[in-house]
Structure formats: C-alpha cells, structure tokens
Amino acid sequence: MTQFLQQMINGLSIGSVYALMAVGYSLVYSIMNFSNFAHGGVIMLGAYFGFYFLAVFKWPFVFAFFGAALGSTVLAVLLERVAYKPLRMRNAPFLYFIISAMGASILIENFVIATIGPTFKTYPQVLSREPFQIGALFVGRLDTMIFVTSAVCLALLVYFIDFTKVGKAIRATAFNARVSALMGINTDMIIILVFAVGGFLAGVAGVLFGMKYTVYPQIGAVTIKSFIAAVFGGLGSLPGAVIGSVILGLLETLISGYFSSQFRDLISFSLLIIILVFRPIGLMGKPSEEKA
C-alpha cells in the first residue's frame, strides 16, 4: 500500500505538468479547430529561458520563472502572427495549419541545435533535495512545488475563462467565431490572447519539467504525451485536458513502478488508439464537424 501511494504522489507530479501542456493544446483547438504541434517548441524554449536566466544571468528564481513564462508568451504570439495568421486571412484548409505547425516545430528545434547545441543542460539546484516525510511516504520538495504551481495556474485559468468578461468572449468565440465577430467581439485579439495564455502556461511547464529532468532540444517531444492526454480528455475541453493529464501521469507512473518503464510509452499510445477508435471525442469532448 505504501508503494502504491508513493507512486500516486509521483504520478500527480508529472500529471500536473502534462496538464499545463495539454490545456495549451485545448485552448488553441477550441478556437481554431486544429492541433498546434509547434506547442512543444514553445515549451522547449521556455525550459531554455529558465535555465539561462538562472544559470547564466543569475536571476533570482522567481524572476527567472516569470521571465521564462513571459518569453514563451511572446514566442507563442509571434508564432501565431507569422505561421498561422496568413493562413487564416486566406481561409486556408486546416491541413495547411497542421503542416505549418509541424514545420515551425522542426524549425525551432533545429534553430536551438544550431545555436545552443544538442547537449543536455541541468538546472541549478533551487530547492533542497531533502524530501518531506509523511509517515512512511516521502514527498520531494520539487514535486510539491510542481503540483502546487500547476494547481494554482490551472485554478487561475479556470477563473479567467469562467468568470471574466474576456473569458466569456473566448468561450463565445470557441462556440461560433463568426457570430461572435458579428456581436462585436474582436476575434483576432481573442486568438492572440489564447496563444498568449497557452504560451505562458507552456513556459511554466517548460521550467518545471526542466527542473525535474534536464533541458535539451528534443524536450518538446514530451508534448506528445500531453496531446494524448488532451485527446483522452477531449480536445477543446479544459477540464477534460486536466483530467486526462492526471490519469495519464498516474497510469505511466504505476506502469513504471510495478512493471517496467519500457511499457510506459506502449501503454500511452495504446490508450490513444483505443480512444480514437471507440470514443474520438474523449471523456469530456463535444462532437465537432472536423477534428485535426
């Protein structure tokens, strides 16, 4: 029982990071109806921003943390302006958006390899490695910070979407962009805002993931897991993305703990196939005329 609870604690830690990544996918999908595969590049650069602010510029952790998040926010908005807006202006098919997103992801990754290099980088130690002990359980300080930070960010996002005027405009645009524009909502600004929010959360996720593991150019590949979580919960559904991420994090940790880490990816992608075959809209998703 103790081992099971220990694995659950570890699973909540990684699942909360997946959730920060997955809501970025869901936010963009809810507005533009396509999967932003360049989101991994934004997360990767967020991890690098945090590393350099801490290790090279010697910023205090709080400033480095928010600096990385703001840097990712700017990058996400620039990505939308350069890679997606021209396609929106021409009413391009959604397949073009996916191709553009994949191209942008490859471009960002190779730009980092060519400029920074392919070597792994480790964050300087911010928190003590001495874990909290609760009975027979050990809870890492970093895992605690990851869970609390993710929970606060997600709670603020829910409040912003559900209880603010701008959040209601985002929900209206997600429901019907054309009607929202006719009602006076500036849908172009809403799209910018959605990418900015997704970029900010991507920066937070990048820093937390980089602190827990290491930073390298291919770190954005972890967003495949967050994409699986978003599909599992239901693309376009923020609660679904969070629930799917937590379940996936717990499932991966339990599989690694009780069987082998070699089965972790196998189970994750098997889950994706099963969901797409038997319930394509996910746990909390809504039917859509076109999914990408």
pLDDT at 291: 42
Q: Which residues are 21's β-sheet partners?
A: none
The span from the CA of 66 to the CA of 240, in Å, is: 26
As a whole number of angstroms, the distance between CA 69 and CA 88 comes to 26
Question: Looking at residue 277, what is its pLDDT?
Answer: 86
pLDDT < 70 stretches in the chain: 285-292
* 151: Cα separation from own chain's centroid: 13
Alpha-carbon distances of 129 from 126, 144, 208, rounded to whole Å = 9, 12, 15
**Structure confidence at residue 287 (pLDDT):** 59
CA–CA dist 132, 111 (Å, integer): 40
The pLDDT tens digits for 234-261 are 877 888 889 999 999 999 888 888 887 7
Q: pLDDT tens-digit profile of 26-36?
A: 888 888 888 88
C-alpha to C-alpha distance for 87 and 89, rounded to whole angstroms: 5
**pLDDT of the residue at 32:** 86
Looking at the DSSP bridge assignments, the partners of residue 137 are: 134
Query: What pLDDT, on the 0 to 100 scale, is given for residue 4?
Result: 83
